Amino acid sequence: MERRVWSSFVMISLALATVLSGSPAAAEEVEKVLTLDHSNFSDTVSKLSFIVVEFYAPWCGHCKALAPEYEKAASILSSHEPPVVLAKVDANDEANRELANEYQVQGFPTIKILRNGGKIIHEYKGPREADGIVDYLKKQVGPASAEIKSAEDAASLIDEKKIFIVGVFPKFSGEEFENFTALAEKLRSDYDFGHTLDAKLIPRGESVSKPTLRLLKPFDEVFVDSEDFEISALEKFIEESAIPTVTVWDSDPINHPYLNKFFQGPSDKAMLFVNFSKDYDAFRQKYKDVASLYKEKGISFLFGDVDSTQNAFQYFGLEIEQAPLLIIQKDNGEKYLKANIEPDQIASWVKEYLDGLVKPHIRSEPIPEVNNEPVKVVVRDSLQDFVFNSGKNVLLEFYAPWCGHCKRLAPILDEVAISFENDPDVIIAKFDATANDVPRDTFDVQGFPTVYFRSASGNLLRYDGDRTKEDIISFIQKNQDKPAQSTSTKPESAKSESINADTLKDEL
């Protein structure tokens, strides 16, 4: 039924384009990517069991690079049986903001796979070039798990360089099989699944006598089994087993999927950065031994090549000369580090960290000697005095120098600060969150810009309103504490151009 609905939709669209243009040739130039917005999104999605939607911004460089590949993929997939629909939504359009918020769009481009009329939502985690998009989506539109009936089936499905999950069953029915298929559907964007009646068909495996989930992997012990088919237990088993004892960060793209899982995990993250061309052999085994010893202690371990991880040094505000460098970062953002570490020091330093004997490393820019611009500069070392101990009403922006939204907001904050320049009780300030550590227990900074307001009496509020001069001034006036002796001047009000999609975060 759905195929007929979609085929009719395509034919009507092409016919309409021909009528409007007066030329059959114009129909051939119709874009294959379906344009959706707040007015037609729900109605369109509800009619389809599978649709891919890109949320984009016209100014986004990544979106511009993706556009021709996405269009090419849409053209190829339109002839797939059944057709695979690719669509796009301008999330920068004010009218589509509620739609973008509903789908938790936090950067551009964000691509979602919507199934069953939009009732099931998955993140698109595939390639960004046309052929890769096509191959990835063909797998996604088929069954979540493929039956393995022969050794040839196994050879065609299982890539020994990637994780593959197989359910082995005496029959394809019962609670275990139903739970397996439900899990495969839930995690199909992350892993490839198969199911079989005969474990002997699976490479690198042993026979089993009862329903078994076998996770094949290209690292560590090669495969692991679980016989607990309770869904949450299976999901936990896969999550823990799919990360290497030591995740490698180098130039090999095969390792990149494991990097994503490493950084998305909830554990403390130990990261050892060395020069692979010089120090790889000296550190590799000793670090892996420590990782094996402590991986059950809530720490995940990463081994990085300094030539491939220079952005990490920039992020942490450190120098390449400090390598070999071991950093442990907690989930709350606290960091602990040991620069110029020796291989024999790794085990003892990690133990000291677990015993609470290592002090956190707090990064801060120098406190500026001159700070006379309308928007004041706050660094980590001055945060306490400037914001918490000043007795002032402080609007504080957390920003990144490369952030486009922050650049748009900067002149507006200058105007706000100038408006309050005769009010000694109000401070407008900014904090470079890429050069200074943000106290995560106080400020929740997940993207840029993030703006907080702390009143003179200590009330801490997050500002999520429109990024216009008028709205920001109104917010400050509403929430500021005015000391009884104050004779401050009421700030002027002026129209200012708002920033569209201000709740959307820049990609990190």
Q: How far apart are the first and last CA of the chain?
A: 42
d(CA 385, CA 391): 9
Active-site annotation holder among 33, 34, 53, 60 = 60
102: annotated active-site residue: no
Active-site annotation holder among 144, 270, 306, 406 = 406
Strand partners, 167: 195, 213
Helix (H/G/I), strand (E/B), else coil: 242: coil
Whole-number Cα distances in Å, 186 to 117, 166, 217, 231, 337:
16, 15, 20, 10, 38
Whole-number Cα distances in Å, 52 to 48, 179, 282, 286:
10, 26, 47, 45
Strand partners, 216: 164, 223
76 near 84, Cβ under 8 Å?
A: no
Report the 10 Å Cβ neighbour count for 313: 19
Closest CA to 32 of 50, 14, 48: 14
Active-site annotation holder among 66, 213, 341, 403 = 403
Active-site annotation holder among 63, 141, 413, 499 = 63
d(CA 52, CA 122): 10
Closest CA to 247 of 279, 223, 280, 269: 269
183 near 211, Cβ under 8 Å?
A: no
403: annotated active-site residue: yes
63: annotated active-site residue: yes
Residue whose token pair is 């939009």: 118
Continuous segment of H or E residues that includes residue 147: strand 145-147
Mind telling me the catalytic residues? 60, 63, 403, 406
